[in-house]
Amino acid sequence: MGDMNMRDALAQYCSRVSILKKGYGQEKYRIEQLCRSFLGDKITRNVTSVDIATYRDARLAEINPRTKKTLSTSTVRLEMSLLSNFFDIGRIEWGICEANPVANVRKPKPPPGRDRRLTAREDRLILRYAHQHVNPDLYSILVLALETAMRQGEILKLQWEHVNIKGRIAHLPETKNGTKRDVPLSLKARDALVRMGVKSNGRVFGYTGEGLKSTWRFMLLKLGISNLHFHDLRHEAVSRLFELGTLDVMEVAAISGHKSLAMLKRYTHLKAQRLVRKLEGNKHKGKQAVIDCLIPYPACIDESQEQIRVRLLDFDGIEGLGPCRASAIRDAQGLLLRRILMDMKDAVTLPEPDQYLDIVEENRLVKIDPLSVEWA
């Protein structure tokens, strides 16, 4: 191959090596980026560790046009890993370079794992939006993601011939880590598939990856939800599996398909609220049950010339009224306390805070604490 420049060598790598990988589309995009950079014109055997470090620093300073922020360190780390593999193959198999210049260059520090969890309100907002969406696929896809911890690609590639509705098993013959997997389906997951109209073969869902990405972004914009990735639903699902309290680590790993238990730990962020009860055990159990119910709830303040109305968003029919904000909040506080105690007496399950579906401006929101003396 002689003195081949990086652009031609990377094109060769793309057509002979990258094309055999599951993440070919993403790797092809990274190669195109590398070819556009100053590295593209350099002779492969002349590229030095200084060139790689210069490329790394330039990329870290670059602004992502979509997010308006500097590129993530994960993006640059992936590009450097690709370059490292490229130089190893170029040195060992193609003879176009004598060394791997990436080997001596520091990679950017990896970012901390995401710990984004869905709030109860976001869960209800997303599922309600999806249920009313013109494409019925969206609702079933989201339910499957939250119930099974399957990856987006695994859901979109699901075939009817691999779904056993009666046995409640979805077979994945090909996954990201290269192994097949059988995923148990909860009743909600099974019903989400049944509503699609069960067929004997063919793809379950019609969405492409890009199509779902576009729909997801529009939905979050419409609902006013920020900093939520589709992949966060997998994090959420894995955490919920652990919070059931009936599955051990190996069983969760069998469902989610994680090979590394360290990686599984990264994905799992148990809600501290669920752990409090375990810490207490049976000590002060009755007292703790009462305290757990007497918590603040969100309310919306509607002001008019005649009176102020404070509406509890998680309850139907609880509205505090008064000539001023303080008196209206006091009225709502008393009604909330009475409602909580009556529901406890009648063994009615109280709603979790922030499950309301109304779209409310931030400046009209207030927290009503049934035990607060601030408005007394």
Q: pLDDT per residue over 306-344, tens digit each?
A: 889 999 998 988 999 999 988 999 999 999 999 999 888
pLDDT digits (tens, 9 = 90+) for 120-146: 889 999 999 999 999 999 999 999 999
Concatenated DSSP letters of 65-102: TTTSSBPPHHHHHHHHHHHHHHHHHIIIII-S-SS-GG
Residue 322 sits at φ, ψ, to 5 deg, of -175, 165
Catalytically annotated residues: 151, 176, 231, 234, 258, 267
Tell me what pLDDT residue 54 has. Answer: 97
* Mean pLDDT within 244-261: 83
Domains in the chain: ranges and CATH = 6-104 (1.10.150), 120-270 (1.10.443.10), 288-368 (3.30.160.250)
pLDDT level of residue 259 (50, 70, 90 thresholds) = confident
Helix (H) or strand (E) holding 366: strand 365-368
Q: Is 147 helix (H, G, I), strand (E, B) or coil?
A: helix
> Which of 188-192, 258-262, 280-284 holds the top average pLDDT?
188-192
In this predicted structure, what is the pLDDT of residue 15? 95
pTM assigned to the model? 0.67
* Integer Cα distance of 137 and 212 in angstroms: 10
Q: Are 331 and 265 in contact (CB under 8 A)?
A: no
- List CB contacts of 293: < 8 A, sequence separation 6 or more: 340, 344, 350
Give residue 37's pLDDT band: very low, low, confident or very high (50, 70, 90).
very high
Do 137 and 181 form a contact (C-beta atoms < 8 A)? no
- Residue whose pair of structure tokens reads 């290269």 in the numeric block: 178
What's the pLDDT score for residue 169?
94
Residue 76's pLDDT band (cuts 50, 70, 90):
very high
- Predicted confidence band at 292 (pLDDT cuts at 50, 70, 90)? confident
Say how far residue 123 (Cα) sits from the centre of its chain: 12
Tokens of 233: 């639903």
pLDDT tier at 275 (50, 70, 90 boundaries)?
low
The closest of 299, 291, 374, 292 to 332, measured between CA atoms, is 299
DSSP 4-54: -BHHHHHHHHHHHTGGGSTTHHHHHHHHHHHHHSGGGGSBGGG--HHHHHH
Instruction: Specify the residue for token string 């699901």.
Output: 158
Q: What is the 3-state secondary structure (H, E, C) of 197-264?
A: CCCCCCECCCCCHHHHHHHHHHHHHHHCCCCCCCCHHHHHHHHHHHHCCCCCHHHHHHHHCCCCHHHH
Would you state the pLDDT for residue 256?
87
Q: What are 162-203's pLDDT values in tens digits?
A: 999 999 999 999 887 778 899 999 999 999 999 999 898 999
Which of the four pLDDT bands, split at 50, 70 and 90, describes residue 360?
confident
Number of Cβ within 10 Å of residue 79's Cβ equals: 22
User: At residue 273, does pLDDT exceed 80?
Assistant: no
Specify whether the CB–CB gap between 300 and 293 falls below 8 A: no
Using pLDDT thresholds of 50, 70 and 90, give the confidence band for residue 214: very high
What's the pLDDT band for 287 if we cut at 50, 70, 90? low
CB 267 within 8 A of CB 258: yes
Residue 370's alpha-carbon distances to 260, 279, 297, 315, in angstroms, are: 46, 25, 8, 14
Mean pLDDT, rounded, of the chain: 88
What letter represents residue 90's amino acid?
A: G
pLDDT of 299 over the 70 cut: yes
d(CA 327, CA 335): 12
Q: Residues of 295-320 as b/e, b for ≥16 C-beta within 10 angstroms? A: eebbbbbeeeeeebbbbbbbbeebbb
Please determine, for residue 1, whether its predicted confidence score (pLDDT) is greater than 60. Answer: no
What is the C-alpha to C-alpha distance for residues 70 and 85, in angstroms, rounded to an integer? 25
